[in-house]
Chain A
Amino acid sequence: MVKICTAKEAVETISEGMSIMIGGFLNVGAPENLIQALVEKGVKNLTIISNDTGFAGKGIGKLQDHKQVAKVYTSYVGGHPAYGQCMDSGEVEVVLVPQGTLAEQIRAAGAGLGGVLTPTGVGTIAAQGKQEVVIHDKTYLMELALSADVAFIKAHQADTSGNLVYRRCARNFNPIMATAAKIVIAEVEEFVPVGAIDPDQVITPGIFVDFIVKGDIEYGRNG
């Protein structure tokens, strides 16, 4: 049963050392109110799973600014100047994953699969330490499913049953992450009554969502 609450109440579920998936692509479709609440709560030693690590002072990048991250699985750290240094010093463990592989690892976890076989990364450093499987003369890497304790996702609209719709490319990793974590917290721009979203239009069925938070602050792209 979905619970409607504030961002502050929603992050009460988060404790030190948890793994958190966070939606968004270069801050578009990132749940910024939830991230801000997590910054204010100040929990540290987090494992973050996200497409990219954002920018300094914005969105997901704030978690790095406040040194709350111990480990991150991501495809791109180039937007945040601190990551290069933190990787070298060992302060943050960064696992770089090809973007499509990251999406499939998360999807696999949400779909009850142990992992996927992908040709991406064969013959590159992304293959290091991974099992190779040959099927019909083509080599694939075995990439294991990736789940998390919590997912922070961002949607455009939610009805009070938790059914979600997204807008444009703010969808990105959000619907996949909604399937792959024990607790799913959705930040939304707008609440609508049950029935206002046609069942054919629902992207994330409400059964995946535990908490819904109305994003009070519109941070915009550069927030």
Chain B
Amino acid sequence: MAGTDKRIQVARRVAQELKNGEVVNLGIGLPTLVANYLPQGIAIILHSENGFLGIGAEPECGKEDKDLVNAGGKSVSILPNGSCFDSAMSFAIIRGGHVDVTVLGALEVDEKGNLANWMVPGKKVTGMGGAMDLVTGARKVIIAMEHVNKDGSPKIVKECTMPLTAKGEVDLIVTDMAVIAVQSDGLHLLEISEGTTIEEVLSSTGARLILPKKNFPI
């Protein structure tokens, strides 16, 4: 499967996790795509950590508002029921548990739900931005990513080796190969994607996966 198709597949699957009326913060990149694949009848409220609720569609060319961008700096619009606030309020919303779900990418996720997604040792440091607050504060943390790195090495590992974004906060991992829930006893394999075998998932995962007792849906 081509890279773009894999990303769309992941975004589509994550979108099925969202419930009507939830307040959701989508990270930059693949997570942003999730908004395009919401099931019919599901409306969510998107939070942007630079200070507003109610992110709308990308404006037409020439209709951009210089004061309206998402947290990645991309021009967006605001819905008629949106609201604007300062950064302290924005992060009060995040840390205070008022964001139902955040969807983010990962460099590594481990068996204990630890997440590393902001810094690769030895590579250029960019800073954590709002990621640490989001992962710590959101009620549910969903990781949306390709199952393995470009070189085929696993991103789901026994223990993160890179600097952590937050400790024990990840709830669900959605990849192009599988859906995995993080629970107190470890990683539970919930689903595998069409055309993928359990053996392929196990060999592409660097952590122990707890398999369901019965056959499970693909």
Contacts and interface: CB of A to CB of B under 8 A. Distances in A.
B73 interface: yes
A57 interface: no
Given A124-B164, A169-B52, A98 B130 contact: yes
B94 A100 contact: yes
B91 A104 contact: yes
Contacts of B175: none
A27 B136 CA distance: 26
Contacts of B66: 28, 170, 220-221
Q: How large is the interface on A (under 10, 10 to 19, 20 to 34, 35 or more residues)?
A: 35 or more
Interface in A139-179: 156, 166-176
Interface string B99-120: 0000000000000001000000
Nearest to A174: B86
Contacts of A167: 67
B9 interface: no
Nearest to A29: B67
Contacts of A52: 127, 129
Contact of A169 (B67, B128, B130, B132): B67
B163 interface: yes
A175 B136 contact: no
A165 B70 CA distance: 21
A101 B106 CA distance: 22
A107 B127 contact: no
Nearest to A170: B67
A2 B140 CA distance: 46
A70 interface: no
Contacts of B94: 100
Interface string B123-135: 0111111111100
Interface stretch (B11-19, B43-51, B150-158, B200-208): B43-51
B95 interface: yes
B129 to A, nearest CB: 5
A102 B88 CA distance: 9
B59 to A, nearest CB: 12
A100 B165 CA distance: 14
B133 A168 contact: no
Nearest to A178: B86
Contacts, number: 144
B129 A172 contact: no
B69 A176 contact: no
B27 interface: no
Contacts of B87: 25, 51, 99-100, 102-103, 172-173, 176
Given A104-B88, A168-B68, A126 B128 contact: yes
Given A28-B50, A168-B84, A75 B128 contact: yes
A121 interface: yes
A169 B69 contact: yes
Nearest to A218: B66
Contacts of B65: 168
A122 B67 contact: no
Given A25-B50, A87-B125, A169-B69, 16 more contacts: A28-B50, A75-B129, A76-B128, A101-B133, A103-B87, A103-B88, A120-B136, A122-B136, A124-B163, A124-B167, A126-B128, A156-B67, A169-B84, A176-B86, A176-B87, A203-B86
Interface of A: 25-29, 51-52, 74-79, 83-84, 87, 94, 96, 98-104, 106-107, 118-126, 156, 166-176, 203, 220-221
Interface of B: 48-52, 65-69, 71, 73, 78, 84-88, 90-91, 94-95, 114, 124-133, 136-137, 163-168
28 contacts: A25-B69, A26-B50, A28-B73, A29-B67, A75-B127, A75-B129, A76-B128, A76-B129, A96-B125, A100-B87, A100-B91, A100-B130, A103-B87, A103-B90, A103-B91, A118-B95, A119-B95, A120-B132, A122-B166, A123-B168, A125-B163, A169-B51, A169-B52, A169-B67, A170-B66, A171-B84, A172-B51, A174-B86
